[in-house]
Amino acid sequence: MKPMGPIPPEFAAQQGELTIAGRSARDWIAEREGPLFVYDPAIVAARVARFRAAFPSIDLHYAIKANPFPPLLAAMAEMVDGFDVASAGELAKVRGLGRPVSFAGPGKRDAELTAALTAGITINLESEGEAERALSIAAGLGVTPRLAVRVNPDVELRGSGMKMGGRPSPFGIDAGRVPALVRHLVAARADWRGFHIYAGSQALDPQAIIDTQAATVALAARLAEEAGQAPPLVNLGGGFGIPYFAGDVSLDLERVGVALEATLAERPAILKDSRFAIELGRWLVAEAGVYLANVVDIKESGGEQFLILDGGLNHQLAASGNFGTVVRRNYPLALARAMGAAVSGTVSVVGPLCTPLDRLGDRVGLPPARIGDVVAIFLAGAYGATASPSAFLGHGPADEVLGSGPPE
Amino acid sequence: MKPMGPIPPEFAAQQGELTIAGRSARDWIAEREGPLFVYDPAIVAARVARFRAAFPSIDLHYAIKANPFPPLLAAMAEMVDGFDVASAGELAKVRGLGRPVSFAGPGKRDAELTAALTAGITINLESEGEAERALSIAAGLGVTPRLAVRVNPDVELRGSGMKMGGRPSPFGIDAGRVPALVRHLVAARADWRGFHIYAGSQALDPQAIIDTQAATVALAARLAEEAGQAPPLVNLGGGFGIPYFAGDVSLDLERVGVALEATLAERPAILKDSRFAIELGRWLVAEAGVYLANVVDIKESGGEQFLILDGGLNHQLAASGNFGTVVRRNYPLALARAMGAAVSGTVSVVGPLCTPLDRLGDRVGLPPARIGDVVAIFLAGAYGATASPSAFLGHGPADEVLGSGPPE
């Protein structure tokens, strides 16, 4: 038997039928023809509340790439201070939600810059060339561009799942070249919004995040001093991880918050009027989502038992271990009608795709299952539906649904 | 500088502007707003002709999971003897194309079995439970079900990229239980169509394929003898690989053909009236497809140069190394206007997604590039557009286009 990752606390203590957002998993899926993602806004709201308590003076941005499901975005508009988008397509999804928007990402096309400049949102510049294109398009439009500079920091986030700083990178502008660019933007009469500094993602070690945030604040101050400009906003990035796999431990958010507040209390004078933001995607929404699929067949082969679901990596690629992971490990999953029940044996849980890659649970321990059962795969709220090849093998996309509104 | 895989022969010898299906890459992409996949049916036709010459007595099936683009399917209907599908969605795509169809894949839902039985196509049964469901649904419909048995062979394809036999598997029924199932199907008055035996995929070693095919024929004969039934058709699977990476050598198809014809010439008596089929996806279409994307930005970071394209792993996940590969290696790619030109330096080619996973060429050698250039990524005809998370980060799907018709 191989271990699974930890079930999120809101679900781990349940007994019997799994309930998501006040409704049983069986009821959720019975209305559908196939698998679906259910997102519980109360869990997102709980994460937001925890963030607010830990970081009282910091703005909270939601990076919608983690989950751009429109009803979820509408719910989050009430909870966060801004949205971060990474394409014109994402920008279109947050228009009209009444929150400030910033747009980061390499390779912004002219049409995307035009859309962003017309909408008056902040563009996080990824290169000097992009800066020139943005200035030129803004001049043509007759608007004052709102431009921040994304910095490729000379620090990296230790222990992060994906490093995005401290090395040659397609993201941001190398720190050493940033002051000159800021001076140039100000001279060109752009509305310079500040810095965006993102050093990594999916980190669970609080000390690594604390050290990175302290280094990021120091870097922002140094760059501002060299540019001779105080940044209105410093986006400190995110990088807060969630536990996916056996042995992972939840991030001690409160410890990070105490340390960052202390860092900011003693920040250099040039940052004294700056606002600070943290940009989170995964940490806010991953644990709020559950992917539900039906057991279509149960078979035995070579002494092993297989549960075959009506959805797999076509809907939830990351859980199959084929997206950004080197060694395949099991996400937490459960038989939805038997939460807390004793494990009766070892089974492998696979999707319907005609490829050995489509394995969602490799020799996991589950209670006895039957055809028609529902399997719940947790941690499906981020990088699930939109980060999966939904057209692969022609099974069609999964449905998505948001549970009833967040408590106020 | 890191190596790239080999450019397919139809493109490797070109000089100057890349031509695909008789038209320049620049002209193909100039009509579009963003990246696109171009498929050359003449290359597919050349692969089919090569197969026909090497395997004169074997039926050729196309496994549409590799590329289900409808115009390509229409073109292939003229070239192959049958289509293999893996879902009701795929079945819908080949209806009306006038070729026999078979349907394999674990986890077939009742609605899918109903669609297949109503259409009169062959169902490759993946478990005894599925057999019972198919028989029951057929009885309800008042039709005679056309049923083949997918065998989980007790041999595996050595050296294959993905092993699908010789071990506990969600695919097929363990060989030892197959004769009893065949007898049961015949007793239930199903139209038993034979065996489907698929031992692996993406193999480049001809001797491994030769050995596997010989073992597969022997296994089919043994199972038929034990069942007391001669199979009308034996689908030998596929598994023919293509060279993706540096050091890969093209499969010696002709050697495999000679060996299989010799094996079949001496096949056991119970198979003397059986037809044999080989089911190919990747080998037929991968080299016929080129993914084209535009260079949106060129930037320097930490002494490295980055070409930033307007499409990446959202369109061509496999080329980013995030789909079924453990170690990331470079697919072949080229600057489309400078085929055959001297390499001037090392660049990394990345997509527009705000994630370090979105890297299509890692420190590859290319001629000097400028913004507005077109980059061609080869081997994009199989497991490209539909096997990628096209909604990820909201950039939208790539276009697809089939070049002018196959030569006759």
User: For the residues of B28-68, what is the DSSP string, one character each?
Assistant: HHHTSSS-EEEE-HHHHHHHHHHHHHH-TTSEEEEEGGG--
- Residue A396 C-alpha, separation from nearest chain B C-alpha, in angstroms: 7
Q: Indicate which CATH number applies to the domain containing B295.
A: 2.40.37.10
Kindly state whether residues A276 and A397 are assigned to the same domain: no
> And the tokens for B43?
């290359």
Q: Which of A129, A303, A386 is opposite residue B392, by nearest beta carbon? A: A386
**A357–B162: do the CB atoms touch at under 8 Å?**
yes
- pLDDT of the residue at A199: 83
User: Per the domain annotation, does A49 fall within a domain?
Assistant: no
- Out of B233, B253, B280, a domain closes at B280
Name the pairing type of β-strands B191-197 and B275-280. unpaired
| Confidence at residue A33, expressed as pLDDT on a 0 to 100 scale | 87
Distances in Å between the Cα of A244 and the Cα atoms of A139, A333, A339, A367, B68 are 47, 11, 19, 21, 34
> Which A residues 113-132 touch B at CB under 8 Å?
126-130
User: B348 and B274 share a domain?
Assistant: no
Say if the Cβ atoms of B391 and A386 lie within 8 Å: yes
8 Å CB contact between A343 and A366: yes
Q: Which residues pair with B103 in a beta bridge?
A: B85, B123
Tell whether A164 is within 8 A of chain B (Cβ).
yes
pLDDT score for A407? 46
Q: For residue B200, what pLDDT is reported?
A: 81
Query: Do A292 and A276 fall within a single domain?
Result: no
Last residue of a domain, one of B263, B280, B297: B280
**Beta pairing class for A399-402 and A36-39:** parallel
Alpha helices in A31-177 (DSSP H): 41-54, 70-77, 88-94, 110-119, 128-141
Number of residues written out for chain A: 408
Do the Cβ atoms of A385 and B391 come within 8 Å? yes
3-state secondary structure of A338: coil
Start-to-end Cα distance in chain B: 43
What does the alpha-carbon distance between residue B271 and residue B273 come to, in Å, rounded to a whole number?
6
A268 and A295 fall within a common domain: no
Candidate from B89, B323, B394 with C-beta closest to A396: B89
Cβ-based contacts under 8 A for chains A and B: 221
B191-197 and B233-235: which strand pairing? parallel
B354, A104: Cβ pair inside 8 Å?
yes
Torsion of CA A383, B382, B17, B4, to 10 degrees: 70
Q: What are the structure tokens assigned to B205, written together?
A: 């070693």
Q: What is the pLDDT of residue B154?
A: 82
Contact B305, B365 (CB under 8 A): no
Considering the domain architecture, whether residues B136 and B245 belong to the same structural domain is answered as yes
**Beta strands B162-163 and A101-103, pairing class:** unpaired
Give the domain CATH number at A170.
3.20.20.10
Give the pTM.
Answer: 0.96
CA distances from B264 to A133, A275, A388, B223 (A): 65, 76, 42, 16
Contact A296 B108 (CB under 8 A): yes
Q: How far apart are CA A375 and CA A361, in angstroms?
A: 11
pLDDT recorded at residue A405: 54
Same domain, A290 and A192: no
In a domain, A238, yes or no: yes
Strands A304-309 and A289-301: what pairing?
antiparallel
Q: How many CB atoms lie within 10 A of CB B341?
A: 14
Hey, what are A136's tokens? 């030129």
Residue A1 lies in a domain: no
Residue A264 CA, distance from chain mean position: 25
**Pairwise CA distance, residues B52 & B50, whole Å:** 5
Q: Is the domain of B264 the same as that of B313?
A: no
Phi first, then psi, for residue A190 (nearest 5°) are: -75, 160
Instruction: With CB atoms and an 8 Å threshold, state whether A304 touches B152.
Output: no
Specify whether B350 is located in the same domain as B311: yes
**Are A304 and A264 within one domain?**
no
Contact B357 A323 (CB under 8 A): yes
Is residue B48 assigned to a domain?
A: no
Are the CB atoms for A52 and A259 separated by under 8 Å? Answer: no
Rounded distance between C-alpha atoms, residue B305 and residue A332, angstroms: 40
Whether residues A93 and B394 touch (CB distance < 8 A) is answered with yes
Instruction: Out of B280, B299, B325, pick the residue that ends a domain.
Output: B280
Interface list for A 335-394 with B (CB within 8 A): 348, 350-357, 371, 385-394
Name the stretches of chain B with pLDDT < 50: 406-408
Interface residue of A91, A151, A322, A393 to substitute, partner B, most B CBs within 10 Å: A393
Does some domain include residue A55?
no
The parent domain of residue A131 ranges over: 68-280
A186 lies in the same domain as A249: yes
Q: How distant is the Cα of B307 from the closest Cα of chain A, in angstroms?
A: 8
Here the tokens at position B217 are 């024929």
> Strand A304-309 and strand A345-350: pairing?
parallel
Strands (E) located in B227-268: 233-235
Asked if residue A56 is part of any domain, the answer here is: no
Residue A201 confidence (pLDDT): 85
For chain A (408 residues), the mean pLDDT of every run of 10, in chain order, is: 97 97 96 95 98 98 98 98 98 97 97 97 98 98 98 77 73 96 98 93 93 95 98 96 95 98 98 98 98 97 96 96 83 98 96 94 97 98 97 96 71
pLDDT given for residue B327 in this prediction? 79
Residue B407 lies in a domain: no
Distance from CA of B250 to the nearest CA of A (A): 23
Complete DSSP assignment for A23-46: EEHHHHHHTSSS-EEEE-HHHHHH
Please name which of B105, B64, B22 lies closest in space to residue B285, comparing C-alpha atoms.
B64
Which stretches within B95-187 are classed as H helix?
A: 110-119, 128-141, 178-187
From the CA atom positions of chain B, what is the Rg in Å?
22
Q: What is the pLDDT of residue A406?
A: 45
Element (H, E) at B219: helix B206-227
- Residue B163's pLDDT is 60
- Is B115 inside a domain boundary? yes
Q: Residue B196 in contact with residue B171, Cβ under 8 Å?
A: no
State whether A187 and A314 are in the same domain: no
- Interchain contact B30–A (C-beta under 8 A): no
Residues B118 and B259 occupy one common structural domain? yes
| Residue A37 with chain B: CB contacts under 8 Å | none
Q: For chain B, how many structural domains are there in total?
A: 2
Of the candidates A33, A164, A355, which has its C-beta nearest B162's C-beta?
A: A355
* C-alpha distances out from residue A13 to A10, A18, A339, B19, Å: 7, 10, 8, 61
- Closest alpha carbon to A339 in A3, A2, A1, A8: A8
A208: left (phi over 0), alpha (psi -120 to 50) or beta: alpha
For CA atoms A218, A219, A220, A224, give the dihedral sign: positive
Buried b (16+ CB within 10 A) or exposed e, A147-165: bbbbbbbebbbbbbbebbb
